[in-house]
Chains A and B, each alone.
Chain A
Amino acid sequence: MSIDNILVTIWWATVGVVSLIIVLLLYLMFRKYQRNRRLQAIDRLTEQLAKADSALNQYIATGERSRRMLAKNSLEQKAIEEMLIHRLSLSRSKNETQRIKELSEYYFAESYANDLRSSRWSTRINALLYIEQFQMMSLHSELLQALQRKHCTGDERFLILRILAVFQAPEIMDELESAAIQYSDIQLLQLVLLIKGELLDQLLQQFDKYSPKLRYIIIDSLRINNIRTQEVLQLLEQCMYSNDKEMRIRAMKALANFGYMSPEAADRMEQALTEQQSVSWQERLMRVKVINSTRDERFLPYLEQLVSDDSYEVRLQSAQALLRYRQGVAILEQIATNHPDRFAKEMAQEILERRNYERNVG
């Protein structure tokens, strides 16, 4: 290839690129212009809608529809959508929320159903996010269809499952195991946390049939949702002595949150503490948390022992737990002055110092 050839190539490439830059610039300016105009228009509309006497607000407040509420074009639709989302986040009364949902149904159900079939991923995702926000039960069957589609990505599938869980749709129950395989712990937890009432009872009944991962997540969800029923208590006390270490830790964490232990479980706990078997620091930590929640006097000597534990976290929790007992402060002061173990001493000092500070501030 001679220099001349190279030159000619470069020249042509240059001409091509320069035109490309010009086209890009024009396209950019045009897009910007359009977008700004659109945004301004939506802003204006939203402002009108936000007025107290707007037809929309009238309806949300009183439930009376007026003819002025028709959305004439996509801009108005967008403005109404934003307005409703905003109102939904502020609204506290059941009636209002109900009306907002009805209204969103009336305006958008059809267009969201269309969006679900769009070939663009982001359009589909947005539709799902809005359907979830407005809780559009009417799209239930469309969602199930979308779930079956070939191009349904992992993100979409997850959003659809989350919506089904919000609806308490029974279909969610059959999807949990596959979700446990496909999604991370946090995502699975999001789904399970939404399951309530009858479906939750089902979940507890079939607890032993599920995979370990799903079982852990169910236990976590009971803790986070603060579910305190006799059945849950039984389940937790049973899982506390499972052969699976991870299960034991999670069950104890949930039990600590439950704040109560049956007398039989307390006896069993005491036995476990006296046995002195070597368990991991995480498990020791959870034991302290369980004891801490019961405030049973018989555990005092064990807490005292655990203030000199090898693990910082265990020492911290035990010292804090002691504060909740009537004679705890005295015990801590004793440890702070003449405990042979330096770490125990320092921990006790730190906890007492913090307590004094908090009392001064409080």
Chain B
Amino acid sequence: MSGMWADLGLVVYHIIAVITILYVAFSTGAYLLMYFAAAKDLRKDKDVSGLQYSKALENELAPLSILVPAYNEGGNIVSSARSLLSINYKQFEVIVINDGSKDDTAQRMIDEFDMSPISNRVPFSALGKSTAPIRNIYRSLQHPNLVLVDKENGGKADALNAGINVSRYPYFASLDGDTVLDTDAFIKVMKPIMEAKPGEEIIATGGSVGIANGSIVDTGYLSSENVLLSRNPYVVMQVIEYLRGFLMGRIGLSSFNMLILVSGAFGVFKKSWVIEVGGYETETIGEDMELIVRLHRLLRKKKSKGRIIYIPEPVCWTEAPESRKILRRQRIRWQRGLFESLWRNKDMLFNPRYGRIGFAAMPLFMFVELFGPVVELIGLIMIVLGLVLKAGAGWEISASLTLMMILYGSLLSTGAVLFEEWRFHHYNRIADVFRLVLHALSESFWYRPMLTVWRVIGLAQAIRGKKAQWGEMTRVNVIGGSSDTIKMRPESPLIQPKK
């Protein structure tokens, strides 16, 4: 009797094993495709002289509104605003939106920049959706191009919407209060917009995000000479992860106009398009990704030639979590955000009306990014089981699965390090490169399984959350924490993992 059960178990085990292997092979294949697309792109503009940007700066550029949502950033808001006011750019305005901070964020701005209330700048709501009440709008008497919007708390997306209503210029950049910019960030991002061919329109651009930990930040800016690799293993792993995600995933997707994620840390959008899709969605966690998906939807609907592009150059730097606890919280939230974005736009999945977004980008995100961790977790369990039971072929399968996973993760990561070296040479010490590759190799043994578990928890929470609020969305008020930046902010009770 027990023999039969054992046999049955083995059969089930084998079936799962085959499925897992096929899945890993499929996602490796998908990434390899993007990898080659990216490699082609990167090789092309390898080593172009920096002269191109200094030239670009001498020209007339489109005016830009820079939106900075701030929540409890009294400590650094003044220096952020100051460094933005000194950017290399001709015509721009900086709009700081105080999202009902509990500290003195607004007061500090008012004192520092001689802000006086302007009652007549009635924010006319082009967006056609209400934002949390605005208490007052101030303009600096020292800098006519610095505006402060003081409003009730409504979350980051709501703050950005208020900013869009107040902004004057045709393009806006969304920016987190704690983002450190590259000195030429705006030029790098606006250059492709300015050089779009007649009849082609670029409606959004995003740039790479780098990790600033361990580097030397000088007066709110970080130039590439000052980039150093942190000593913290969590941070090194995240550096690799970012390189991989940005350099490979996004360049690949962008070259097919399938990019469905522009970093919340720094992106530039054409205002008229964002207004047309109704601005940021306030009741979601990953508001930046959600917006991009809706923009794509509109592009398809209008059969427009508009593009959403990605600039491989790192244009901004953020502080990555250095402790396990915060990293865990961040990843659980990202996974939930991803689920929400996909869920909200599930009608696009495999819908012929949405072309490659429906048939390639969405499924890729869904199977590889959203459900991938589940399959990986099963794989991990299989490996452990196989090793413990050593049952017949189970052993070998486990061993091969293990290798498959190592192969999958490490090769891609090493490749990302190579891209970095080809294109940017940010990490100039041989020891740094060696450390990056070594960490990339170790990835599958600790970092990836850890992430896998967190992402599964995030997915489970998201699905459970959906069930609980079927039919009516209760208001989730999560501020900041876009899918590319980290905020040490109090989370709403909804996000706390259940004990």
Q: A residues engaging B (CB < 8 A)?
A: 3, 6-7, 10-11, 13-14, 17-18, 20-21, 24-25, 27-29, 31-33, 35-36, 85, 121-122, 125-126, 129-130, 132-133, 154, 181-184, 186-187, 189-190, 213, 220, 224, 312-313, 315, 342-343, 346-347, 350, 353-354, 357-358, 361
Contact = CB atoms under 8 A, between A and B. Distances in A.
A190 B195 CA distance: 11
Nearest to B196: A184
Given A10-B400, A25-B414, 17 more contacts: A17-B407, A20-B411, A21-B414, A24-B418, A36-B428, A122-B48, A184-B194, A184-B195, A186-B62, A187-B195, A189-B59, A189-B60, A342-B120, A346-B120, A350-B118, A353-B116, A361-B142
B111 interface: no
A3 B47 contact: no
A186 B198 contact: no
- Name which of A10, A31, A315 has the most chain B CB atoms within 10 A of its CB: A10
Nearest to B404: A10
A14 B59 contact: no
Contacts of B51: 85, 129-130, 133
B407 A181 contact: no
A32 B410 contact: no
Contacts of B414: 21, 24-25
Contacts of B421: 28, 31-32
Given A3-B393, A11-B400, A224-B60, A28 B417 contact: yes
Interface of B: 14, 17-18, 21, 44-49, 51-52, 55, 59-62, 114, 116, 118-121, 141-142, 168, 194-198, 393, 396-397, 400, 403-404, 407, 410-411, 414-415, 417-418, 421, 425, 428, 430, 433-434, 437, 441
Given A13-B407, A122-B47, A3 B397 contact: yes
A126 B49 contact: yes
A130 B49 contact: yes
B403 A3 contact: no
14 contacts: A6-B18, A17-B407, A21-B441, A35-B425, A36-B430, A121-B44, A129-B49, A130-B49, A154-B197, A183-B197, A183-B198, A186-B194, A312-B120, A354-B141
Nearest to A342: B120
Contact of B400 (A7, A154, A182, A350): A7
Nearest to A353: B116
A126 B430 contact: no
A143 B480 CA distance: 51
Contacts of B62: 186
Contact of B52 (A3, A129, A186, A343): A129
Contacts of A213: 198
Given A14-B407, A20-B411, A7 B48 contact: no
B469 to A, nearest CB: 41
Closest 7 CB pairs of A and B: A346-B120, A186-B194, A129-B51, A10-B400, A357-B141, A14-B403, A17-B407
B21 A122 contact: no
B118 A3 contact: no
A33 B430 contact: yes
Contacts of A133: 51
A199 to B, nearest CB: 20
Given A129-B55, A350-B118, A354-B141, A29 B46 contact: no
A125 B430 CA distance: 29
Contacts of B119: 346
A33 B429 CA distance: 9
Contacts of A154: 197
B433 A32 contact: yes
A122 B44 CA distance: 7
A213 B182 CA distance: 34
Given A14-B404, A187-B195, A25 B437 contact: yes
A21 B437 CA distance: 9
Nearest to A186: B194
B16 to A, nearest CB: 12
Contacts of B18: 3, 6
A126 B400 contact: no
A361 B393 CA distance: 84
A241 B125 CA distance: 34
B193 to A, nearest CB: 9
